[in-house]
Structure 1
Amino acid sequence: MSILLDHDWRQEFNRLQGAYSSSTMRGYYSDTEAFVTWCATEGLPTPFPASVETVCLFLEDQGKSLAPSTVRRRLYAIRKVHRLLRLPDPTYDEDINLAFRRVKRSKPIRPKQAKGLTKDYLDQFLKNEPDTPWGLRNRAMLSLGYELLTRRAELVALLAEDIEELGDGTLRVLIRRSKSDPFGAGRTAFTSQRTARFVRDWLDWRGDYIPWLFCPIYQGKAVNRDLSTTTVKRLIKDAATRAGLDAAEVNAFSGHSLRVGAAQDLLKRGFDTAAIMRAGGWKSIGVLTRYLENAEHNVWV
């Protein structure tokens, strides 16, 4: 079997375009790069096709400094490259399974949980947003993201045509595509009148020539392009800072905090996990259970 050059796997990754999200594509690239670089550093030959021994050594070496979830993701990238190149796949060998089990057992840590941006925090953050174009946008994003239980990518992917104003002053919103819905079946969610008002105020300033619901603002003008997912994390932390929270509390918030906090509030209001899963588009109860852990001790207060 001939040894394949490094550029071959890059070319083959072009076949994935349109089949996976941009974040998944970035992950495949970065994780494969990590494997290729590691092989070069260790003086090993071009890594495709990889031997079982090489993959085992790589996984165990990566496990010394990385979380098991990251090591697993890199294993999946190695598997994907071998499939794309139509090479024998070494990643299902039992030695690979044992190597990964050693990685997991060496770091028995619980996943870090984002701090929930509950309604109390939301009200505080909204009150402290400035009366500027940025404040108009951020109020709408914070309030909408909380009420729709959106992931970061879902929030920034919303289009203006995805919202419909109803007769009672609320909004019906179509969330077209998500991590758990890669083929875009979509789910429908509804807002309060307050959130609808924030969205209308933002759109009145932004104008109707931009397809994305939310967009960047440069020198006081709306820019005709979408936002990155990192914007959600940044605006949450900025809002927490403006609200006067201490640095440790600010750092505990993340781009997932809107989704976490809304789920926790629904639990405290008496909704069961099945209803919360439907509201947030969860397919697995495992992640939701972690979100709800910090809320459970307050349920009966």
Structure 2
Amino acid sequence: MWEKEIRSFGNYLKIERGLSGHSHEAYLRDVSKLATYLASSLGEDLPIDEVREVHLLAFLKDLHGLGIEASTQARCLSGIRSFFHFLQFEGSIQQDPTLHIKSPQQGRKLPDTLSFDEINQILEQNDMSTPEGVRNRAMLEMLYGAGMRVSELTNLKLTDVYEDIGFLKVRGKGDKERLVPAGKDAFRYLRIYLESVRSQIPVKKEALNVVFLNRRGGSLSRVMVFIICKDLAAKAGIEKSISPHTFRHSFATHLIEGGADLRAVQEMLGHESILTTEIYTHLDRAYLSQMVRDFHPLNKEWRM
């Protein structure tokens, strides 16, 4: 069923779209799934120019009924949408049946966050007797104390540090700059690192203005920051999925839990949309619900 059209679509993906082998196969597989479903559910082959929105909605409903995740449903619809766009462009069909179909809602996954005690446990695992330990403490304090992205941390310049007013100039996504306040501890440990460690490192020419350096005097990589965070969390016995971003999530969550204004948190995080920041209000509600379950006297699990 639809062998000719699918073959032409495959050639289009490979030659004109230049898709990778994996993506190319996935798109063709999605279209073939639809063709098989329609033939099975209707009991006969449906001509491709007679496929309507109702058929596609039934197909998506079937995927949902099989327990297929919304993200997978959305990817499958994307492949089918491309197929019908191609057919309309080629003149094989007059109307695109995917035109008014919305992608399945993908619930936003709430990120892991660290409690204040867990953050302290991680910091306690850091060996301040070594140059790397001093640097790492300053980095962690910046991640948690200013809510920075890991790329913003590794790209931080000496000329971006304004300790006298308690701010950092950060370059975020799209190379957009913003001023971010950082706590006293963040600046204190940064100053210790700059004065006692960085000043002793022979710095490579291209990294002269970079704050955080590796042992060889070059810019510290994002991967290295990931490794440092995961290693310290493992030493602290924390089994959550930890990354540099976890400190950023924790920064925002703790601000919201403490009553911070959502717009202010949006500004500090450098979010383009307030909707992105609102995920932390969901985290806050989850926290409050957990408090009720754990401590309300009417909870059946309450123990005196």
User: What's the TM-score bracket when you normalise by the shorter of the two chains?
Assistant: 0.5 to 0.7
Q: Secondary structure at the match of 2:222?
A: coil
Separation of aligned partners in 1, 2:112 and 2:122 = 14
Q: 1:8 aligns with which of 2, 12, 15?
A: 15
Q: Report the aligned-residue RMSD.
A: 4.7
Inter-CA distance 190–213: structure 2 relative to 1 (3 Å threshold): same
Inter-CA distance 159–31: structure 2 relative to 1 (3 Å threshold): farther
Inter-CA distance 75–241: structure 2 relative to 1 (3 Å threshold): same
Matched, 1:68 2:70: yes
Separation of aligned partners in 1, 2:252 and 2:80 = 35
Matched, 1:189 2:187: no
Deviations 1:210-242 (A, max 9, x none): 265445x4xx534446324xx554433322222
Separation of aligned partners in 2, 1:82 and 1:137 = 54
TM-fit CA distance, 1:195:
1.4
- Give the gaps of 5 or more residues in structure 1: 14-28, 45-49
Deviations 1:16-74 (A, max 9, x none): xxxxxxxxxxxxx79835624636987x9xxxxx9979998699769967642454367
Matched, 1:163 2:163: no
Equivalent in the alignment of 2:300: none
Instruction: Note if contact 1:146-1:258 (Cα within 8 Å) is conserved in structure 2.
Output: yes
Inter-CA distance 30–112: structure 2 relative to 1 (3 Å threshold): farther
Aligned-pair identity in percent equals 20
Instruction: Note if contact 1:129-1:135 (Cα within 8 Å) is conserved in structure 2.
Output: yes
Instruction: Note if contact 1:35-1:58 (Cα within 8 Å) is conserved in structure 2.
Output: no
Matched, 1:151 2:149: yes
Instruction: Note if contact 1:263-1:292 (Cα within 8 Å) is conserved in structure 2.
Output: no
The one-letter code matched in structure 1 to 2:285 is E
Instruction: Note if contact 1:31-1:73 (Cα within 8 Å) is conserved in structure 2.
Output: no
Query: Number of residues paired by the alignment?
Result: 255
Inter-CA distance 251–268: structure 2 relative to 1 (3 Å threshold): closer
Inter-CA distance 77–148: structure 2 relative to 1 (3 Å threshold): farther
Separation of aligned partners in 1, 2:137 and 2:65 = 41
Equivalent in the alignment of 1:123: 120
Equivalent in the alignment of 2:221: 226
Deviations 1:158-183 (A, max 9, x none): 23256223336x4x3222222xxx3x
- Give the gaps of 5 or more residues in structure 2: 36-47, 296-304
Instruction: Note if contact 2:63-2:73 (Cα within 8 Å) is conserved in structure 1.
Output: no
Separation of aligned partners in 2, 1:41 and 1:206 = 60
Q: State the structure with more CA Rg.
A: 2
Equivalent in the alignment of 2:283: 291
Separation of aligned partners in 1, 2:220 and 2:89 = 40
Separation of aligned partners in 2, 1:71 and 1:149 = 33
Q: Secondary structure at the match of 1:187?
A: strand
The one-letter code matched in structure 2 to 1:280 is L
Q: Secondary structure at the match of 1:256?
A: helix
Separation of aligned partners in 2, 1:91 and 1:213 = 54
The equivalences for 1:131-142 within 5 A come to: 131=128, 132-142=130-140
Equivalent in the alignment of 2:269: 280
Matched, 1:173 2:168: yes
Instruction: Note if contact 1:277-1:288 (Cα within 8 Å) is conserved in structure 2.
Output: no
Separation of aligned partners in 1, 2:99 and 2:72 = 20
Q: 2:250 aligns with which of 252, 261, 264?
A: 261
Inter-CA distance 208–59: structure 2 relative to 1 (3 Å threshold): farther
Equivalent in the alignment of 2:301: none
Higher relative contact order (CA 8 A, sep 6+): 1
